[in-house]
Amino acid sequence: MWKLIFSVLSTTILLSSGAIAAPAASAPPPSETVPLASDDPNEALWNADTTIIPEAIRGSLGASVIGPQNVQIDRQNADLLAPPSTDAGNVNNAKWPFSLSHNRLQTGGWARQQNVDVMPIATSMAGVDMRLEAGAIRELHWHLTAEWAFVIKGSVQVSAVNMDGQNFLDTVGPGDLWYFPPGIPHSLQATNDSADGAEFLLVFDDGSFSEDDTLLLTDWMAHVPKEVIAKNFGTTISAFDNIPDQQLYIFPGVPPADNAPVPDSPQGQVPNPFTFKLSQINARQLAGGTVKIVDSRNFSIATAISAAEVTVEPGGMRFWHPTQDEWSYYLSGLGRVTIFAAEGNARTFNYEPGDVGFVPASFGHYVENIGNDTLHFLEISNSNLFQDVSLNQWLALTPPALVKAHLGISDETISKLSKTKQIVVGPS
């Protein structure tokens, strides 16, 4: 007993006196404080072009579908049916196909919309897909939101008058834009440059916007007493015998001439044009695709909405986080997007032509081309300047020791990071 006590005391004295040095404590590398991430590449298991019967299986997880199955929808949404293991937690639905929107059919065209009613996450912007036959008119109207537009097919003549009585008239074609500030009365008419007329995308800086709630000229006139109308215009009541008793919204018309002169105004024409010929701007060539950026720096009237037109080649991708909410529209190709929403929440979505996407400000994400053709899409933000932060550039410009401490990567890997923004990268 006494020998054991003496032994313990001796050890304590020796250690405290420094006669025997204790091993120096060191913090474990950061990568060892939590499990390492899986090496599973988590690629998309199929895309919308597949002919397989999709199954809810990824690796050893899941099982086949033995109940009713909408095969076409499952083919279009591989990462919802069989999500990557990196998906976790909850992210609100960030995909809406215009094909699921109710379509408002009119004589001469149609319109269908996306807003918070169908995609609640998109609180700051809404969109409308509109079609006009050659000569058809989207009637004179105005609204409290800004309107940004991209012509998908055909040509459209746009007209407007501002608060100073200055007017504007121009024709825009495929890939071109227009923008109207809130409250500016305007109209749209498809030309006959194409026998089919035109189709275009409209984006508004309010997620609750409804195309059915715009203020229309015919609707207004139908609800004002005729004697008031006559008094306002200094005419007889009979001069307005033929005004409609309800709104026209979209209606047939005679196709306008592309070179139609703007009506003469004593106040002159608007100082800053409401249209922008984006189709005539050279795209910036990148390793994995191209980009065109349009904001108030080159389209000065567009103070509330900015955009990028992006192409990504097969296997390429775009990886970043936005400083503003981002509303996107897919024109062609097949895309895959994972949205990271902090606190371990992430979800992956698949997109194809005609789909709308939305990413809230600061949410990290990428867009990957998982098809065999060029992916072509629009990124639209509710800001006068188009801005984002590149993950690659961010890490390249951060002290290497910090990056290594976070990610456990080698000096060789760090040396391959790009200090210039790689907007679209090519396949690895």
Give the model's pLDDT for residue 24. 46
CA distance 332 to 377: 7
Residue-wise pLDDT tens digits, 295-331:
999 999 999 999 999 999 999 999 887 789 999 999 9
State whether the Cα torsion 216-222-223-229 is positive or negative. positive
Tokens of 147: 């309107």
Domains of the chain with CATH codes: 99-276 (2.60.120.10)
Report whether 177 contacts 202 (CB < 8 A): no
Would you please indicate which residues are annotated as catalytic (active-site) residues?
379
7 pLDDT higher than 60: no
Is 406 annotated to bind a ligand? Reply is no
- 88/84 Cα distance (integer angstroms): 9
pLDDT at 12: 39
The mean per-residue pLDDT over the stretch 185-189 comes to 98
Residue 13: φ, ψ to 5° = -65, -45
Give me the mean pLDDT over the 55-69 stretch: 97
pLDDT of residue 107 exceeding 90: yes
Burial 272-310 (b: 16+ CB within 10 A, else e): eebbbebeeeeeeebebbbbbbbbbeebebbbbbbbbbb
pLDDT bracket for residue 11 (50, 70, 90): very low
147 is in an annotated binding site: yes
**Residue 376, marked binder:** no
What mean pLDDT is predicted for residues 224-236?
A: 97
> 330 has which bridge partners?
377
| 3-class secondary-structure state, position 307 | strand
Q: What percent of the chain has pLDDT over 70?
A: 93
CB-side neighbour CA atoms (13 Å) of 327: 30
* Cβ neighbours, 10 Å, residue 395: 19
**Dihedral sign from CA coordinates of 86, 91, 92, 94:** negative
**Average pLDDT over every residue of 135-148:** 98
Q: End-to-end alpha-carbon separation of the chain, Å?
A: 70
Least confident piece of the model among 8-17, 172-181, 206-215, 240-249: 8-17
Does residue 31 register a pLDDT over 60?
no
**pLDDT digit string, tens, across residues 70-102:** 999 999 999 999 999 999 999 999 999 999 999
* Main-chain dihedrals φ then ψ at residue 9, nearest 5 degrees: -65, -40
Does 326 count as an annotated binding residue? yes
